Amino acid sequence: MDYAAPDGFINRQPEEYFALSSGWLGSEKGFQLPSDRGRASWATQKAGGLVSTGFEERSDRPKPMERPVPTEAASNAAWGSDAIAAVLRQLDIPYVALNPGASYRGLHDSLVNFLGNERPQMLLCLHEESAVAIAHGWAKVTERPMAAIVHSNVGLMHATMAIFNAWCDRAPLLLLGATGPVDATKRRPWIDWIHTARDQGALIRHYTKWDDQPASVGAAQEALLRANLIAQTAPRGPVYVNLDASLQEESIAEMPRPPEMERYLPAEPPLPAGSVIDAAAEILVQAKRPVIMVGRVSRDTAAWQRRIELAEALGARVVTTLLTAAGFPTDHPLHAAPPGMFLPPAGMEVVASADAILSLDWVDLAGALRSAFGGKPISAKVVQVSVDQYIHNGWSMDHQGLPPVDLHLLAEPDAAVPPLLAAVRSLRPTPPPMPSRGSRQGPPPLATLESAEAIEVPMIATALAAALGEADAAIVRLPLSWAGHLRDFRHPLDYLGCDGGGGVGAGPGNAVGAALALRGSGRLPIAIIGDGDFLMGNTALWTAAHYGIPVLIVVANNRSFFNDELHQERVARVRSRPVANRWIGQAIREPEIDIAAMARAQGCVGIGPVGDPTRLVAALAEGITAVRSGKPCVVDVLVAMGYDPAAAAGMQRTVKS
């Protein structure tokens, strides 16, 4: 079949592959960012209602760079990789983050010369771990997969930590790779041999949902369709499709007929059985001290509102966590304790006093219950809402402990909450009175910066609030030293959670990916990360600078891998050895690293180091101005060593003597 090649590119295929529908992702309805962008209180949100259909259509994209030169004459040739690239467009994959490699040179050519480097647009990265971390950050905002491509076995090995982070974070991600040629007679001497693996997917099979190495063009197209479905079906996660180099470079007589995409859409989330909903509602309504533990939930504003209504209908106290994105307004009267990486003492007290607990996919429910009840029998009735067990395997222990559960609703929280709310209201039409709000701890007052001798991490919260004013922000990441009372979250995009797998170095890439997804949303993307996290992953900043992705990264720089200093202190105390030696092999000093200079070297705005507390507000305001002008910016803040006491206690596990 012979088709006209639009815009001079070698597009020899049915026009359905290139039909550009409205919206920057080309989907029929597009994405919508949550409609309520203000930092209104929970009461205002409740009165006004939060109705959203997902993410808002936007026309802005990264800077129009790397536009290929059009082909002067249409070519009659078609290649295996052309058919593969065409399906990526059909899947509405907007971007593909990559570090180039010869194993997928065929696909690379198709993305550039067949699709014109548009939908998907390439995002060049300096390291495979950054490529995957950027795709992960994108998914944190959109809850949709972006693609990343890594080169053969060596690129895949570089990317493994970032893949594991996405796995633990239950983030959808489409990972493409290549190997071979599988046919040994087609391999170049030496290099193709060391870059070919018999079962390359085995490298990451324990922490991906599915992988495939298709042996034909048709099988490759089907593999991409299946991968997309699996990645977006809860529990979500990364998938991997490995493409034989020779398959990509195979000449084909004509392009295959495009798939009917409406027949390959992810299924709607299943609803829990009515009898189970009724039983859960009965447990919760009969309870005198119900508690809701909000874990993995969506960014949807309507679902956010339903969680508020359920808590109010029950009069239930609510606890949240910094391990996952914002799931409930932290300034609501029913929110019981500041969120943390570990359940803080106030949260443990609330959970321990409960006679009924509703877990909305809480990460490590068993560990939280053990901490709260202190080894005593768990007297509360426990209702678990989660499908996470579908993804558990025997290799990774990310499934955490096995919690004692009285009733399990095998559904996603967003699917279970509306019918549960209806059942609760039928049993209790009149909600209990709202509790009075006691005094709440917040960040230090602004005047503290005038008298302090050194910057402590809580002061970053103070200065950031002053520099932002009423502007909307999305906090992409927070460091281990952060305390949950330092900033309230009033919207699903106010905070996007941690890296998932505890892999140091994900922060910069996650920040860039989230910032890409937030472009045009009116929200300022801000990541507050440690210096160790920055130093391991900072080359992701070049991608932000190159493509004009504005993001503010504030580095809480204590010049140490301080988390491990605490561990060394604990071991030294148990063994009656000098605590003063805890810094050896941990401190990042002599010489100290100029983090702002590293940012400037990659084309970003670099501010600092800032060690004077009186300069902190001005430095952050300067950074915010740079980001608003479309630039990525790093502010290096020299902070005193120290963690929030609850976080420090949680990280120092018991050492046997």
The structure tokens listed for 611 are 């060690």
Identify whether 24 is part of a domain. no
Question: What pLDDT is stored for residue 286 in this prediction?
Answer: 97
Type of residue at 112: V
CATH number at residue 294: 3.40.50.1220
247 near 215, Cβ under 8 Å? yes
Tell me, yes or no, whether 455 and 527 share the same domain: yes
Tell me, yes or no, whether 254 and 302 share the same domain: no
Tell me, yes or no, whether 115 and 249 share the same domain: yes
Task: Give residue 553's region: left, alpha or beta (phi > 0; psi -120 to 50).
Answer: beta
CA dist 338 and 486 (Å) reads: 9
DSSP 309-345: HHHHHHT-EEE-BSSS---S-TTSTTB-S--BSS--H
CA dist 418 and 420 (Å) reads: 5
CA dist 322 and 307 (Å) reads: 18
The structure tokens listed for 534 are 């920055």
Tell me, yes or no, whether 196 and 331 share the same domain: no
Identify whether 231 is part of a domain. yes
Instruction: Give how far Cα 21 sits from Cα of 27, 83, 89, 90, 257, Å.
Output: 6, 20, 12, 11, 19
Phi, psi torsion values for 291, nearest 5 degrees: -135, 135
Identify whether 420 is part of a domain. yes
373 burial type by CB count under 10 A (0-12 exposed, 13-18 middle, 19+ buried): middle
Q: What residues make up the domain containing 525?
A: 448-651
Question: What pLDDT is stored for residue 371 in this prediction?
Answer: 94
Tell me, yes or no, whether 624 and 540 share the same domain: yes
* Domain final residue pick, 263, 287, 321: 263
Tell me, yes or no, whether 576 and 620 share the same domain: yes
Identify whether 52 is part of a domain. no
DSSP 422-453: HHHHHH-SSPPPPPPP-----SPPTTHHHH-S
pTM to 2 decimals? 0.91
Identify whether 76 is part of a domain. yes
Domain count along the chain? 3
CATH number at residue 202: 3.40.50.970
Mean pLDDT, consecutive 10-residue segments, the chain of 657 residues? 37 40 29 36 34 38 75 76 98 97 97 95 98 98 98 97 98 96 92 91 98 97 98 98 96 94 94 96 98 98 98 98 98 96 94 98 97 93 97 93 97 98 97 87 95 96 97 96 96 97 94 97 96 96 97 95 85 92 89 97 98 98 98 97 70 47
Identify whether 39 is part of a domain. no
* Domain final residue pick, 238, 263, 288: 263
506 near 131, Cβ under 8 Å? no
Question: What pLDDT is stored for residue 9 in this prediction?
Answer: 44
Tell me, yes or no, whether 120 and 153 share the same domain: yes
Q: Are strands 121-124 and 95-98 parallel, antiparallel or unpaired?
A: parallel
Question: What pLDDT is stored for residue 643 in this prediction?
Answer: 77
SS3 of residue 616 by DSSP: helix
Question: What pLDDT is stored for residue 54 in this prediction?
Answer: 36
* Domain final residue pick, 427, 456, 472: 427
Indicate if the alpha-carbon torsion angle 225, 392, 501, 127 is positive or negative: negative
Tell me, yes or no, whether 182 and 293 share the same domain: no
Tell me, yes or no, whether 601 and 506 share the same domain: yes
Identify whether 237 is part of a domain. yes
185 burial type by CB count under 10 A (0-12 exposed, 13-18 middle, 19+ buried): exposed
Tell me, yes or no, whether 609 and 480 share the same domain: yes
Tell me, yes or no, whether 463 and 399 share the same domain: no
Question: What pLDDT is stored for residue 375 in this prediction?
Answer: 83
Identify whether 43 is part of a domain. no
Tell me, yes or no, whether 283 and 384 share the same domain: yes
